[in-house]
Amino acid sequence: MVTISLGQAAAGDWNVRRGQVTLFSNLQLAAAIKLAREMARDEHGRLGHPVCVEMPGPTGAIVLAQYGWGDTSDAVAALAS
């Protein structure tokens, strides 16, 4: 499973990471969510493995989308739009 995560910088802007590597930074929250979901959809479509998009919440990670989970390998279960 691959996790693409959002992180908030001290200045209040957001970044998109894959593992420990920051891929994009200085984004507004909505743009960061959209970009992370597009990346996850693309990666799942190209490579076929499960990909999760999450961001920090008050008590733990909030899952925004999951691609490649469940009974069918091509099913997409997006939890946020």
Render pLDDT for 25-72 as a digit per residue (tens, 0 to 9): 999 999 999 999 999 999 999 998 999 999 999 999 999 999 997 644
Residues 66, 73: contact at Cβ < 8 Å?
A: no
Beta-strand runs (E) in 1-81? 2-8, 14-18, 21-27, 51-56, 61-67, 76-78
Residues 54, 62: contact at Cβ < 8 Å?
A: yes
Single pTM value for the model = 0.81
Q: What is the pLDDT of residues 3-28, one digit of tens each?
A: 999 999 999 999 999 989 999 999 99
Sequence spans of domains, the chain = 2-63
Rounded to whole angstroms, the Cα distance separating 47 from 64 reads 20
